[in-house]
Amino acid sequence: MITHIDHLGIAVRSLDETVDYYERVLGLKCAHREEVTAQKVRTAFFDVGGVHIELLEATSPDSTVAKFLDKNGEGLHHLAFASDDIEAQLAQAAGAGCRLLNEHPVEGAGGKWVAFLHPKSTHGVLTELCSPKTESTSAH
Ligand code: CMX
């Protein structure tokens, strides 16, 4: 079951410049920075009342985020829902005919399992499902 919105992912050209904007203009404080090698991104997180903003900077020209920036420029990249059972959530989505980008969860930022649904199956919004790592979920 989806329990809440976990984060909004925003593609940016410069993590440092964008962190500066969120801190200086909006008065938020960057909670956490992390490079996710498997996804070829560098991230910075802001906690806004329990919902996070995840800034995404590409670490390689062949990163999906670099491709997104080339095509669209900076902006909203994905919407992430927290689920209390990500495998069941993926099975439900697949059963409903949704195209999965990950058949099983993979390791994402913030010590979470993540899996993506293709934006062509989700009415235009790249959708992430995520859940904290527990002993009942594992990488495939
Ligand atoms: N939101 C909405 N639509 C998107 C999109 C996005 N973020 N990224 C791509 N698209 C659209 C493209 O515009 C394109 O549409 P058209 O065919 O109408 O032009 C279509 O989806 C296919 O795009 P593509 O260029 O052929 O495919 P890409 O190689 O860019 O891959 C996607 C797109 C979604 C499959 C790829 O980005 C992906 O696998 N994403 C999941 C992983 C990810 O995004 N990781 C980075 C974040 C990691 C993190 O949060 O830590």
- Which residue range is the domain that position 62 belongs to? 2-132
d(CA 40, CA 105): 17
Q: Is 41 in the pocket of ligand 1 (CB under 6 A)?
A: yes
Q: How far is the CA of 4 from the centre of ligand 1 (A)?
A: 23
Give me the number of domains the chain comprises. 1
Q: Which pLDDT value is given to residue 110?
A: 84
Answer yes or no: is 138 within a domain.
no
Domain CATH code at residue 120: 3.10.180.10
Query: Rounded to two decimals, what is the model's pTM?
Result: 0.95
Q: Which pLDDT value is given to residue 15?
A: 98
Answer yes or no: is 140 within a domain.
no
- Which of ligand 1's atoms lies nearest the C-alpha of 54? 50
Answer yes or no: is 81 within a domain.
yes
What residues of the chain score a pLDDT lower than 50?
Answer: none
